[in-house]
Every structure is written in structure tokens, then in C-alpha cells.
A and B are shown apart, each in its own frame.
Chain A
Amino acid sequence: MSQEHEHGLPPKSSVSRWFLTTNHKDIGVLYLITALFFLVFGGVLALLFRLELISSGADLLGSMGYNQAVSTHGLLMVFWFISPFAFGFANYIVPLQIGADDLAFPRLNALSYWLYLFSGILMGVSFFQGTTFAGGWTMYAPLNTPAYIPGEGLGATSVVLALIMFTAAVTLGSVNFLTTMYRMRAEGLRMRDIPIFSLSINLTVWMMLFAFAALLAALMILASDHILGTTYFQYSIDGTTMATDADNPGASLLWAHLFWFFGHPEVYIVFFPALGVMAECFQTFTGRRLVGRKWFIISMVLVALQSFVVWMHHMFLTGINLPIKTIFMATTIGISLPFDLMVFSLIYTMAKGRVRFTTPFLFSLGALILFIIGGITGVFLGAIVLDYQFRGTYWVVAHFHYVMVAGATALFGGLYYWYPKITGKMYNETLGKIQFGVYFLGFNLLYFPMFIAWETPRRVFVYPDGLQIWHSMATAGGFILGASFLIMFYNLFMSLWRGEDVGPNPWEYATSAEWAVSSPPPLENFPGVPSYATGKLEFLDDETVTERTERAPGAAAHGHAATDGGTATDGGAVTARAAATATAMEPAHETAGEEHASHASFWPFLVSLGGFIAFLGLSGVRTGSVFYLSLAAVGGVATFGSLVGMTREPFHAPEMAIAERWPFERVEKMKLGMWTFLASDIVLFGAFIGSYAFVRVAYGWTAWHHDLIPAEHVTMPGLINTYLLLTSSFLVVLAMVAAERESKRGTVAALVGTFALGVGFLINKGLEWQHLFHISTEAFPNGWGLSTNIASSTFYLTTGLHGAHVTIGLIICAYMTIRAWNGAYQGDDRAIEYFGLYWHFVDIVWLFLFPLFYIL
């Protein structure tokens, strides 16, 4: 019976539901629980090395043990705990707040989650492969390359691969959230009108989309150094030459730039959702609207933009020149100012309020106070003369824990705030307050002494005796902080049974839509179609919806170009019929008019499991071990097979009948998803090309050509490939035209032509590479392979990444050819258009690579 009701989803009590579900609320819960698990994992590691630090010396963990604990603690907390924890809330709450019934691509959402979980498992497995990664969470080069990793170094490779998997999850998630927020807002809800938590998530995912693409580039290069033997981050000198005469003088700084270009936006990626939670809790528990909301939002937008131009403040000591230092000092101070404004906005929101000191408010207020301290100490670091001395010391450690863990503090407040919504039960308020007390005490006892003992270099276990008292105090604080979580877990777990039942809204003055529905909300979220058209939340019944959509002028054909400024527009509304057929992303072979959305798919889990096995295998293939090789093969096949399965599975995720879609009224969700994805891909390639330019300039732009590239590396193969790709792009356009004209033969022929040209491109490339691998000249007696020098590494890896894009395109093209043969796409060329977007993009990338790697 309940099967029927939940549209193919087993009940929540059944284990299988949690493997199958694609519903945003279920996935939100999965994220929250998994993230809390990684909090405990990272926390236990921290307690271990805090124990080590009670006194100077490494008598507990040993020096490598200490380095591993410190490094994995940082990675786990930053990647596997804090952002996923925030995204647990984002998953659960954002669709409810903006009036959507789910995310735009529910299966991709499930896929994000499973990739995240399995990436964490891979991280865990790395501990059992000898040693895990021990080079700090910032993973500086060349300490992060196999040459400097003790033993076989497989654990470290696994960590790099785990991070890649994590990044994949993040990228899918960003695409999904952006598409959802721009295409599925309740009628009348302009972008600026969405509740502040959702807004903070919107800006977070924008930053994620670009920052993580840069990280992905760094990680892919690093993985290639580990597995394929390229030498981007490798540096060696033969003993006679020094410094700039070396074989790859840009190695170390290349990593630093790539990492911090990601790393600085990452700190706001971590903090923004927390800011959103704080603002929500402040509004609700003071009974006041956020003061200066507009400026608060503008501040966040400014920070999000500026976050990409401050990264070198982590590199003030690397010998960058004074003008650049000055610029980055200015941007750093510039980015701290909007935060001042946000802090004051929160403070004044309390004025004339009815401030109720509930647990969520206590955590939010505590977070604000901690953040003020963290922010002030950050300004110290922005003063370069001070930073010179603070760099690499506990001052930095104390500063970033005061800001980042302040963020975590707000998120714990969020956990209490939304707990009744998610579970339908009230937690125990007394225990909550006790936890806050213990937490706040433990936090300050742990991190404040670090300011006093700031002269301690970070990541060392030896410090002067005079500082022991502060380090012991910090260790005590760490255990108190840890203990506070036992209270929280006990409270939240017991309240599942003992907690009082709550109605839709347990908090006076809460306003956002998640509180307008029952706790927990039903699978479909709302009792009707949510609308703010009248300026207030209403739920429209089916009849009103049909009426309205039929009235919408020209909606079916053109959408509706409503401006963001208009009030209560029905902008972008499409007719119900169009909505039902516009299924996008999820393949188009459902019958039109099928009412119910799908909520279950096993494929995301299988794809991720396959990916996990493949990556685990990859971590060890360089040893030539049969075990690892077969894991990689099995995993690869499993991933591919499940991806095909997922594509062929009928899955229905209808577009909303009425929605606010500014500024993308005319861009279907599939196309918007493709656009956002390609935007991140541009950054990925941009980072690869930037890396190439960087190491080449460090080496000497012209000497590079002269010293490192064989005469056999000629222009011709590249030129031919340019023609092949350009022609194939043209054929995709023809395929679209043919499909529009309903010419099945034409469609198939053009697709086959595209495919053939793409294959020709790859064959040509293969021949070229074979030739270069095996040349034997005076300068390159052993051929010009991936590991020969830095120029060959950049050439093979960058054009190889492009080749991989071509290969993926060809797989999709083959699949579409078969479907076209069976009569698909006739009269509806959208799928071909989406593929075309991707294919043209790959084409354009080549137009950049060709001159860079063949001519200059």
C-alpha cells in the first residue's frame, strides 16, 4: 500500500529505501548522517594528535603517524565533514524554501551523495594501504609526489583519487542546485526574494562550480603524476645546477597557485551556508526581519566574486613581487569589509526583538561571537608584515579554526533548528543548552590558547617547554569539545522516540515555506502548487494551475520574458502539457502526460560503487599488481555498465507547471544544466592551460621549445585534427536540422559522420603519439614519453584530457546514433542540441590547444 503511495519507494523503515531513494529530503538526511560520521572520524584523529601534543615530542604516534593524523584530520573536516553537512541542510531545505518539489535532477542528486560516501570510504581505505597521505591538507608539491612518500605510497594515491571522486560529487551537486534554483522557484519568488539560507547556498554553489574545477585540475594532474608518471609537480636537480636552472623550476609554486585559487573560495564555501543558517535563526528567534537584508545580500555577492582574487595572501612569503603583494593585501582587506557589514546586520537584527535563547539561537549567537574573534585575527594576517611572522604558525591555526569552526557552530545550531522539521519530534531543550555550554567552553579552551602559544610552528610535535601549559590546556579543551557531542548525539537519538510530536511550525516567527508544511513534509512537499503571486505563500489547487497556465500568453512556444523587477508575474510559466513533455536530462522516452514523478533508482548507487572499485584499483596499478589491475578493470566495466543502465532507465522528473525562472525562462533545465557544467569545464581546461603557461614561463618560454621538444613534434597531425573536429561540429548542426525536418535518414547519416570524424581524430592522435613515444634521436634517445620532461608531460596530459572529452562525446554520439536509427529525435531535436553544445565546446577547446601545443 505504502509502496503505491510513495511512487515506488519502499517505506523509510526499510533499508532498501535508503539505497533507492532520489528524494531530496531522504538524501539530505543521508548527507547529514554521513557528514556527522566523518566529523567523528576527523575528530578522533584530532584528539589523537592533541594527546600527542600534551607534551613535546612524538611518543605516541611517531613522526609519520603524527603527520598522517594532522593531514587526514584537515582533509576530512574540510572536505568530508563541513560542506557535506551544510549540503545535508541544503538538500532538505532549499527545495522547500523555494517551493520546488525536488531538485531538478533527482538521480544526479543521489549520484552526488553516493559518490561522496564512496569517496569517504576510499579515504578510509587509504589508511590500510601502508601509510595514508601525510603532506598536510594543503598538499604542497613536491612533497605530494611519490618520490617523497614513504613506502609504495598507495595510500596517498588513494587519497588523491578520493578527492577527485569528491570533487565529481560537488560538481554534479553544483550543477543540480543552480539549475533547480533558477528554474524551479515558486511563482512570484524573484531570485532576491528567496529566503536567506537558500540564497547563501546559491552563492556557495556558484563558488563551488568554479573553485572545485580548479581543484579538480590540480588533483587530476597530481593523480597523473602518481599513476601515469608525468612530472608536473616533480622537481629534481643534478647537484651542479641550482634553483632556476633546474628541470622544472615552476613545480612547487604551480601547486600553490592552483591549490589556493581553489583554497580561498573554499573557506567561504565552507562559511556561507553557516552564515545563512545564522541569519535564519536570528530572524526566527528574535522575531525581527534581517536588518539591511539587501546590503547583506550584496555583501555576500561581493565576497563571492572577490573570493577568486585573494588567493595569493597564502603565498606572501613565496617571493612574489611588491606590486602583486600590495594588490592582494588590498583585496584581502577589501573582502573583510562586507563581513563587517553582515556582522552588524545580525547584531541590529536583535534590536526590538523578542530574543528567545533556544538551543539553535545559542549556537548562532555563539557562532557570531567566535566569528568576530576569528575575523579580527584574520585582519592581523592581512597586514603583510605580521603575516610574514604568523605564516606557518599556530596563529594561522587558531585564526582559521575560529572562523571555520564558528561556521560549524552555526551549522550545529541549524541541526537543532531543523531537527523538528526533519524528524517531526522536538529535541530536549535542556540537554541542548547544556551541550552548548560545554561546547562553547571546550571550543575556547581548545583554540584560544593557540593564539597565546602562537610561536609554535604548525604541524610539529616539538615545541618549547614554556608553551606546554597552553598546549595542555588546548588538549583538555579538545576533549571537552568532543564530549559535548556525546550529549548532542544522545539528545538527538533519544528524542526520536521520546521527543514531543511537533506540528508544521514549532518556532514562533518562522516565515519560510518549510515551516508551512507538516513535519516531516510529505514526499511531494506541498499540499498544492506553492505560489507567492499575491505576495504571500499560497498553495494553488490543480484547477487554478490549469486555468493560469492556459491563460499564460504564448507560454508554450516562447516562455515568457518576465523581468525580475515585475511583481507577481507568471513569468516563464509554461503550459502543463509542455511541462509534462519537457523531461530533459532524464531521457526522453517516457510517455507524455504521465503524472507521477519517479523517486527511486538503484543506478546512482551502482555507478558510485563501480567508481569506487575502479579508483581503488587505480591507486595500485603502478605496482603492476594483478589484484589492483583487475579491480580497476572490474570497476571500470561496472561504472560504464551502470551508467548505460541509468541512461536507459525510464525516470520521470517533470518540470514545474508554474515557476519563476528568471533569468532563464527560455533555457530548459537540461540545457541550463549543460551550460553550468560546461562553465565548470571551461575553468578545468583554463587551469590546465594556465598550468602549462606557468611551468613554461618558469622554465623560460623559448628555451622550453629548444630544450625539451623534439624536432619530430610537427604541426601536421594537429592541423589535420583541427579540420576533422571542425567538420564534425558542422555535421552535428546538420543532424539537428535533419531531426527538425523529421528526416530519419539524414539524422542518422549526420550522426554517423560526426562519429567517424571523431574516431578519425583519435586514430590520428594515436598515430602521432606512437611516433613520438618511440623516436630515437640524439636529444631524446629513449623516445618522448609522458615522463621524459615537463614539456612532454604538459603536452600529453592536456591534449589527453581533451582526447578523453572527445571519447566521451563519441560514446554519447554512438548511443544517439542507435536511438536515431530506431526513430528517436524526429521533430524534437533538443537532445541533439544538448550533445551539440558539448561537442562544439570540445571543438573550441581544441582551437586553443592546437596553437599552444603545436605552434607557439
Chain B
Amino acid sequence: MAVSLITYATVVFPLHGGDVRAPSAVFDQIFEVFLLLGTAVGVVVVAYTMYHALKYRDDGAGTDPYADKVERPEMGEMPTGGAGGRKVFYSFSISAIIVVSLIAWTYSQLLYIEQGPDLAQEEALEIDVEGYRFGWDFVYPNGHTTNTLYVPQDRVVRLQVTATDVFHNFGIPELRVKTDAVPGQYTSAWFTANETGTYAAKCYELCGSGHSLMTTDVVVMPQDEYEEWYAETNETDAGGNETATAAETDQRITAEATALGGAPA
């Protein structure tokens, strides 16, 4: 029975998430380029600065090697600019070109991240995420709610994120997905995970005493395992939600905090 259901699911909804360029790949690529160029620019500019500072270092002998070339400022003169404006302008232009072209290059990637992969809408798995002090509820399309996020491997997952009390921010750092959880509105984000395993989801906006401990697990499962799990939530939905109440979460947080030596107020 379960097996046929899974086969059915896989046949009717072919899962393409594996072909999709994951947000983490996009981030890694851009970050790498920025790090390389940023370091290069930084090293060049700092070296250039130090070169000027040292080259024109005063010899301490009280003589002025450029006395015949330049005119030194005098006490009480009206402030004016020094010569060399053209060099400033060239250097500025180079730096401006680097910066602007870098950012322009990232823009196409931004469009991709914003719009998501070009799949038929129904293929993405939609999960609602609700942040509260100090935990997360994940609401599946069938209404099933969990505190741990279970998702299938190689499938595009779309999150609709909100919060029920204060401002939080939901992020799964390894999968490079993050968005604000703003009370009163939904924000969305998507990701796909190519590797199975357990990842951490964290809160990235200070939300009170339990903020540091507001983490939870994200379990990425092979697609068939996921389908099996999901099918079961369907059957047991009536009473089987594993969500913790706020009070239970508080207890968990307090216990963890005490274990770490600090008791949240």
C-alpha cells in the first residue's frame, strides 16, 4: 500500500529539484569572486597607500627634497586644493568600474534567486514557517505541523515565513536560505538540498532571552523516504501533530540554557 502510493506520487509529480541550481551554489560562486577581487583590490590599495606614506617619508634632517617642485602650505592661508586631481580621478574611475560591474554581474543572479527556478508551480513543495519565541512551526500543505523541518532531497522547497509574536529571522546557513519572519506579513524564500542529512536552522534576529538557542533541525531525506513520511502524516493527522506548545518550548529553552549555565529571565 505504502509502496504503491510512493510510486504513484513519483510518477504523477516528477521531481526535478536536482537539476535546479541551488541558492547555495549561487552564493558560493558570487562570494568566491567577491573575495578574490575584494582581496586583490584591498591589497593593491593598502599597498599603494603604504607606498606613498613611506616613499614621501620625511628624512628628519629638516630638508625638503621637493622644495623646488612644490609650494608648502602656510599658516593662515585660505584653504585650497593641491595638485594631482587628475590622478585621483583616474583611480576613482577604475575603482568605480570595478564596483559597478561587479554589482551589475550579481544582478542577474539576484533575479534568479528572487524568481526561483523555472518549474511548474505545483512541483515546488510549499511549507509555511511560523516563528515564535523561541521555536519554529512548520506547516505542511496538508495541515500537518512539525517543529523539525523535513524536506525531500532534490526538490524545490518554498517557504512562506511569518512570526506570531516578535520579529525573527529564519535561516538555514548551509543551504543558504534566509528570510525575515515579520509579524503581520509573509516573506518567501526557496531552496533545494542536494545532499541528505541533518542541517541546522537558526534565528538571525534578536528576539529575547532564548534567541541564542532558537535553533532547530532540518532533515533532508531521500524522496521516497520523505513521501513515506508525508503519507503517514496524512493518515495520522487527526491527533498526531508533533508540535510543542509554547510552554514546552520555554521549558526546553530553560533546560538548555541552564545546561549552558545561564537561566533566561
B145 within 8 A of A: no
- Given known pairs A58-B262, A63-B262, the reply for A340 and B73 (CB within 8 Å) is no
Is A333's CB under 8 angstroms from B84's CB?
no
Kindly state whether residue A382 has any CB partner on chain B within 8 Å.
yes
**Contact present for A365 and B96 (CB under 8 Å):** no
Q: A250-B184, A352-B56 are in contact. Are A386 and B262 (CB under 8 A)?
A: no
Does any Cβ of B come within 8 Å of A267's Cβ? no
- Give the complex CA separation of A538 and B173 in angstroms: 64
**Structural contact, B58 and A459, CB atoms closer than 8 A:** no
Question: Known interface pairs A250-B184, A372-B45. Does A505 touch B53 (Cβ–Cβ under 8 Å)?
Answer: no
Residue A532 CB within 8 A of the other chain: yes
Fill in one digit per residue for A664-701: 1 if any B CB lies within 8 Å of its CB, else 0: 00000000000000000000000000000000001000
**Which B residues, 13 to 53, have Cβ-Cβ distances below 8 Å to chain A?**
26-27, 30-31, 34, 38, 41-42, 45-46, 48-50, 52-53
Cβ–Cβ contact A290 & B176, under 8 A: no
The digit string for A359-379, where 1 denotes a CB below 8 A from any CB of B, is: 000000100110011001101
Residues of B within 8 A of A258 (CB): none
Contact partners of A243 in chain B: CB under 8 A = 162, 183-186
With beta carbons under 8 angstroms apart, the residue of A286, A336, A348, A373 that contacts B88 is A348
A58-B103 in contact (CB<8A): no
Q: What's the least CB distance linking A62 to chain B, in Å?
A: 4
Q: Is B260 an interface residue (CB 8 A)?
A: yes
Least CB separation from B184: chain A residue: A249
Please, how many angstroms separate the alpha-carbon atoms of A67 and B178 in the complex? 22
State whether A242 touches B162 (Cβ < 8 A).
yes
Say whether B53 contacts A355, CB under 8 Å: yes
Chain B, residues 223-263, CB within 8 Å of chain A (1/0): the string is: 00000000000000000000000000000000001001111
Interface residues of B in 50-108 (CB under 8 A from A): 50, 52-54, 56-58, 64, 66, 69-70, 72-85, 87-89, 91-92, 95-96, 99-100, 102-103, 106-107
Residue-wise, chain B 174-196 has the 8 Å CB interface mask toward A (1 for contact) of 00101110111111100000000
A535 touches B78 (CB 8 A): yes
Q: Tell yes or no: B135 within 8 A of A by CB.
A: no
Among A249-278, those with CB < 8 Å from B are: 249-253, 256
Contacts of B78 in A (CB 8 A): 188-189, 193, 532, 535-536
Assess the B88–A345 pair: CB atoms within 8 A: yes
Report the bound CA distance from A287 to B72 in whole Å.
6
Stretch of A291-299, A412-420, A541-549, A754-762 at the chain-chain interface: A291-299
Question: Which of A292, A356, A698 has the most C-beta atoms of chain B within 10 angstroms of its own C-beta?
Answer: A292
Q: Are B96 and A251 in contact (CB under 8 A)?
A: no
At the interface, yes or no: B146 with Cβ under 8 Å from chain A? no
Query: CB distance B204 to A392 under 8 Å?
Result: yes
Q: What is the CB-to-nearest-CB distance from B99 to chain A, in angstroms, rounded to a whole number?
A: 6
Contacts of A62 in B (CB 8 A): 257, 261-265
Least CB distance, A594 to chain B, in whole angstroms: 31
Binds A, one of B3-11, B117-125, B163-171: B163-171
List the A side residues contacting B48 at CB < 8 Å. Answer: 347
- How does the 8 Å CB contact mask read for A42-71 relative to B, with 1 for contact and 0 for none? 000000000000001111111111110000
**Contact among A189, A246, A340, A388 for B99, CB-based, below 8 A:** A340
- Give the nearest-CB partner of A384 in chain B: B110
The CA-CA distance from A382 to B265 in the complex, in Å, is 37
Minimum distance in angstroms from B159 CB to a CB of chain A: 12
* Contacts A317-B178, A350-B52; A383 near B210 (Cβ below 8 A): no
A293 with B81, Cβ < 8 A, contacts A61-B262, A352-B66, A373-B42 known: yes
Min distance, Cβ B207 to any Cβ of chain A, angstroms: 6
Q: Which residue of B lies closest to A451 (CB)?
A: B35
Chain A residues positioned under 8 Å from B96 (CB to CB)? 337, 340
Q: Are the CB atoms of A59 and B261 closer together than 8 Å?
A: yes
Cα(A373)–Cα(B210), bound, Å? 34
**Measured between alpha carbons, how far is A348 from B53 in the docked complex, in Å?**
10
B212 at the interface (CB under 8 A from A): yes
Does B209 touch A at the CB level, under 8 Å?
yes
Q: Contacts A63-B212, A289-B80, A333-B99; is A295 near B88 (CB within 8 Å)?
A: yes
Known: A253-B182, A516-B75. A389 touches B106 (CB 8 A): no
Q: B263 to chain A: which residues have CB within 8 Å?
A: 62-63
Least CB distance, A388 to chain B, in whole angstroms: 6
A317-B178, A351-B56 as given contacts; A140 in contact with B49, CB under 8 Å? no
Q: Is the CB of B75 within 8 A of A515?
A: yes
Identity of the chain B residue whose Cβ is nearest the Cβ of A463 in the assembled complex: B212
B contact residues around A287 at 8 Å (CB)? 64, 72-73
User: B203 contacts which chain A residues (CB < 8 A)?
Assistant: 457
B209/A698 in contact, CB under 8 A: no
A289 touches B82 (CB 8 A): yes
Give the segment of A143-151, A492-500, A794-802 that binds chain B. A143-151
Cβ of A140 and Cβ of B205 under 8 Å apart? yes
Q: Is the CB of B183 within 8 A of A251?
A: yes
- CB contacts (< 8 Å) of A250 on chain B: these are 184
Interface residues of A in 147-202 (CB under 8 A from B): 148, 150-151, 188-189, 193-196
Q: How large is the interface on A (under 10, 10 to 19, 20 to 34, 35 or more residues)?
A: 35 or more
Residue in B closest to A504 when the chains form the complex, CB atoms: B75
From the candidates B92, B100, B114, name the one contacting A322 in the complex (CB within 8 A). B114
- Residues of B near A253 (CB, < 8 A) are 182, 184-185
Of B80, B188, B261, the residue contacting A319 (CB under 8 A) is B188
A475 located at the interface, meaning its Cβ lies under 8 Å from any Cβ of chain B in the complex: no
Contact yes or no, A385 B27, CB < 8 A: yes
A532 contact set on B, CB distance < 8 A: 78
* Any A CB within 8 A of the CB of B218: no
B72 near A389 with CB under 8 A, answer no
**Residue from the list A383, A389, A536 in contact with B103, Cβ < 8 A:** A383
Smallest CB separation, A359 vs chain B (Å)? 15
Q: How many angstroms between the C-alpha atoms of A356 and B166 in the bound complex?
A: 54
A58 to B265, CA, bound (A): 13
Find out whether the CB atom of A379 lies under 8 angstroms from the CB atom of B205.
no
* Min C-beta distance of B202 to chain A, whole Å: 6
Closest to A293 in B: B81
- Given the known interface contacts A63-B262, A195-B79, the answer about A357 and B91 at a Cβ–Cβ threshold of 8 Å is no
State in angstroms the CA–CA spacing of A79 and B30 once bound together: 35
Query: A433: which B residues are within 8 A, CB to CB?
Result: none
A318 in the interface (beta carbon within 8 A): yes
Kindly state whether residue B158 has any CB partner on chain A within 8 Å: no
Of A17-25, A506-514, A598-606, the one touching chain B: A506-514
- Of A244, A317, A325, A355, which contacts B58 at CB under 8 A? A355
For A56, the closest partner residue in chain B by CB is: B260
Cβ–Cβ contact A379 & B56, under 8 A: no
5 contacts between A and B (CB under 8 A): A63-B210, A290-B79, A293-B80, A333-B99, A349-B84
The interface of chain A, by Cβ under 8 A from chain B, is 56-67, 131, 134-136, 140-143, 148, 150-151, 188-189, 193-196, 235, 237, 242-244, 246, 248-253, 256, 283, 286-296, 317-319, 322, 325-326, 329, 333, 336-337, 340-341, 343-345, 347-357, 365, 368-369, 372-373, 376-377, 379-380, 382-386, 388-389, 391-393, 455, 457-462, 505, 509-513, 515-516, 532, 535-538, 698
Q: Which 6 A-B pairs have the closest CB atoms?
A: A392-B204, A293-B81, A58-B262, A59-B261, A249-B184, A537-B76
Interface, chain B (partner A; CB < 8 A): 26-27, 30-31, 34, 38, 41-42, 45-46, 48-50, 52-54, 56-58, 64, 66, 69-70, 72-85, 87-89, 91-92, 95-96, 99-100, 102-103, 106-107, 109-111, 113-114, 133, 162, 164-167, 169, 171, 173, 176, 178-180, 182-188, 202-213, 215, 257, 260-265
Given contacts A289-B80, A318-B187, A355-B58, 18 further A-B contacts (CB under 8 A): A58-B212, A62-B261, A62-B262, A62-B265, A195-B79, A242-B164, A243-B162, A244-B186, A252-B184, A317-B179, A317-B180, A319-B179, A350-B52, A350-B56, A388-B176, A511-B73, A536-B77, A698-B184
